[in-house]
Amino acid sequence: MILIVLVVILILYIAKRVFPPIYYWKKRNVFYVNPLSRIYEVFFGKKSLAEIVKEAYDQFPDRRYYGSYQFLKPSLFIRDVDIIKQITIKDFDHFTDHVDILNSSNDPIFSKNLFSLKGREWREVRSTLSPAFTSSKMKAMFVLISEASKKFVEHFEALDKDLVEVEMKETYSKFTNDVIATCAFGISCDTLENPDNEFFAMGKAVTRSSLLRMMRAMLMMFFPKVFEVLKIKAFSNDITDFFKRIITDTISTREKEGTIRPDLIHLLMEARKGKLQENPSSTTEDTGFATAQESKDTKIKSTLEITDDLITAQALIFFLAGLETSSSLLSFLSYELAKNPDIQRKLTKEVDDNMSTTDSFVSYEKLSKMKYLDQVVSEGLRKWTPGFALNRVCTKDYTIPPKHEDEPPLTLTKGCFVMIPVVGIHYDPKYFENPDVFDPDRFSDENKKNIVPGSYIPFGIGPRNCIGSRFALLEIKAVMVQLLDKFEFTFIERTAVPLKLKKTFGLMVEGGTWLGLKRRSKNK
């Protein structure tokens, strides 16, 4: 009898969760995606999430927006770049928060990271952290990035082979692991030589995709209250305890020994002392066209106490956000260069023109002057944006006024999700002609001024854009230059042509991204 009652309660709960949201957009006369088909495609892995987002975007070519559902939550997908700019910049106060996908409130450390924080608390942390990510601070940190890039390439040089066959995604993950380890946590890993190091193992444990992990994540999104009541965390205690131990031990050692190192821990320690100052960003030596500009709206006077837990939370999200996204972009970028040898030759010439016979690694100044490199990376971010969809939460009721006769005023209620289908916009021929073609000339000095504002947003838009865009661009460019100085990318027998995306949340390739690193024969 008790079992029957529990089953009935469960059915009623599910019905209450499922049916009212399904009619949310219908009652508002908004064109919307069939929620059942989308749930089926996501839940049973029929397509990659990026492909699902793009297909939905293409389904409504004449609409400024369309309704959908994110795990039973009404979600408005915005197609119109003017509305995107309106809600993310001008009316940002109505959309200050991200969707808490991982239900981070259950975790006392992870809940303090910049991505998860909301409202005033987010503003204080963002305002405190912003000075750590300016051009001047990144320039100081670049020496660590350069050292990691050089060591990465030296590993393949030491193999003494004319052609090295490499699965690029996994290999670049080892590189990004080492860069973040040294720049955020102040430790050295050398993961190519020591792939079983604990730091890399922890990173893979967090980011590794599996059916069980996907099912758990989706259940967490469907039934967040259940996970909250049961106090089920997004990450195990072993993971958060590991990173906290690294941070607290490093801070303690540096305070005792007076160690100064140009990394994130040092910058946050300076912030704790009130000594972290924001230097104006250079206009001539910045990190490129894709750089997300810091908004003045985030500058507020903060009374924030910078605890070890807060520092750990920022270092952890820095690690999680950078490990897979940068390695993914690098693997796709390498594939595009191998597929388009003319583009690769032109880029290699620019590398040769800037790398002398005595250069062991590229300098920040020379990297900043490589215009074609910036075009190639910018185009890679357009075509293979790791952040292929952005999200916001409507924090107070908001009305989108009509523009067309058949379009009613649309009032979004508090709690409604708002989604920006970046992959759809980046592949929209209205903004980028022949979008399936990899064409770095879109971002030449002559052409980039024609790009419609708001149509190119690889690092987000508005005050909640990616704070680490400069770091990511330096990391990507540095290793690309070091590799092209010694090798060229080429297709091999194991290379998948065309690429086929895995049926998962992120941008991953079925069977891996296999390429050859062909040793260059040149006189330098």
Asked if 493 and 316 count as a contact pair (C-beta separation under 8 A), the reply is no
Asked if 325 and 207 count as a contact pair (C-beta separation under 8 A), the reply is no
- The span from the CA of 380 to the CA of 383, in Å, is 5
- The span from the CA of 375 to the CA of 477, in Å, is 11
- The pLDDT of residue 345: 97
Which 3-state string (H, E, C) describes 465-510? Answer: CCCCHHHHHHHHHHHHHHHHHHEEEECCCCCCCCCCECCCCCCCEC
pLDDT per residue, tens digit, the chain (524 aa), is 676 655 555 555 555 555 556 678 888 888 888 766 665 666 666 778 888 899 999 999 989 999 987 766 789 999 999 999 999 999 999 999 988 766 666 677 778 888 888 988 899 889 888 888 988 899 999 999 999 999 999 999 999 889 999 999 999 999 999 999 999 888 888 899 888 888 888 877 776 655 555 555 565 665 556 555 555 666 677 788 888 888 899 989 888 888 888 888 888 888 888 777 666 554 444 789 999 887 766 566 667 788 888 888 888 888 888 888 999 999 999 999 999 999 999 999 999 999 876 667 788 999 999 999 999 999 999 999 999 999 999 999 999 999 887 788 899 989 899 999 999 999 999 999 999 999 999 999 999 999 999 999 999 999 999 999 999 999 999 999 999 999 999 999 999 999 898 877 778 889 999 999 999 986 54
Q: Kindly provide the residue ranges of all beta strands, DSSP E only, lying in 91-213, ordered along the sequence.
A: 163-167
- The pLDDT of residue 255: 86
- The span from the CA of 505 to the CA of 43, in Å, is 11
Which structure tokens are listed for 128? 């405190």
- The pLDDT of residue 524: 45
- The span from the CA of 276 to the CA of 253, in Å, is 20
- The pLDDT of residue 227: 58
Residues 6+ apart with CB under 8 A from 507: 48, 50, 328, 332, 384, 386, 388, 501
C-alpha to C-alpha distances, 334 to 190, 324, 331, nearest whole angstrom = 22, 15, 5
Residues 6+ apart with CB under 8 A from 26: 32
